[in-house]
Structure 1
Amino acid sequence: MKKVCVFCGSSFGKSNIYKQEIEKLGHMIGKKDMELIYGGGNSGLMGVLSKAVLAEGGQVTGIIPKKIYDQVDHVELTDLHIVETMHERKNKMYSLADAFIALPGGIGTLEELAEVFTWQQIGYHEKPVGILNINHFYDPFRDMLLHMVREGFIKKEFLENLIVDDNMEELFDQLNKYNPTSSNKWS
Structure 2
Amino acid sequence: MGRAIERVESVCVFCGSSDAADPAYLRAAANLGKALAAADLRLIYGGGGVGLMGACARAAHAAGGRVLGIIPDFLVGREKALESVEHVVVANMHERKMLMFERSDAFVVLPGGVGTLEEVVELLSWRRLELHAKPVVFYNPGGFWRPLFELFQHTVDARLTPPEFMDAWTAVERIEEVTPLLQSARPDSRGAAAKVA
| TM-score, normalization by structure 2 | 0.85
8 Å contact from structure 2 (residues 38, 63) kept in 1: yes
AA matched with 2:170: I
Residue 32 in structure 1 maps to residue 45 in structure 2: no
Residues in 2 aligned to 1:75 and 1:67: alpha-carbon distance in whole angstroms: 14
Query: Unaligned stretches of 5+ in structure 1?
Result: 183-187
Residue 7 in structure 1 maps to residue 1 in structure 2: no
Partner residue, 2:51: 44
Residue 7 to residue 122, structure 1, CA distance change in 2 (3 Å): same
Query: Unaligned stretches of 5+ in structure 2?
Result: 1-7, 191-197
AA matched with 1:19: L
Residue 103 in structure 1 maps to residue 106 in structure 2: no
Q: CA deviation at 1:76?
A: 3.0
AA matched with 1:117: L
Identity %: 37
In structure 1, the residue corresponding to 2:67 is in which secondary structure? strand
Higher relative contact order (CA 8 A, sep 6+): 2
Residues in 2 aligned to 1:15 and 1:83: alpha-carbon distance in whole angstroms: 30
Of residues 65, 68, 71, the one that matches 2:72 is 65
AA matched with 1:94: F
Q: CA deviation at 1:77?
A: 4.0
AA matched with 1:151: A
8 Å contact from structure 2 (residues 70, 89) kept in 1: yes
Residue 82 in structure 1 maps to residue 93 in structure 2: no
Residues in 2 aligned to 1:178 and 1:156: alpha-carbon distance in whole angstroms: 22
In structure 2, the residue corresponding to 1:41 is in which secondary structure? coil
Residue 125 to residue 94, structure 1, CA distance change in 2 (3 Å): same
Residue 135 to residue 22, structure 1, CA distance change in 2 (3 Å): farther
Residue 34 to residue 80, structure 1, CA distance change in 2 (3 Å): same
Moved more, 74-83 or 1-10: 74-83
Q: CA deviation at 1:161?
A: 2.0
Moved more, 72-81 or 114-123: 72-81
AA matched with 1:61: L
Alignment root-mean-square deviation, CA: 1.8
Partner residue, 2:126: 119
| TM-score, normalization by structure 1 | 0.89
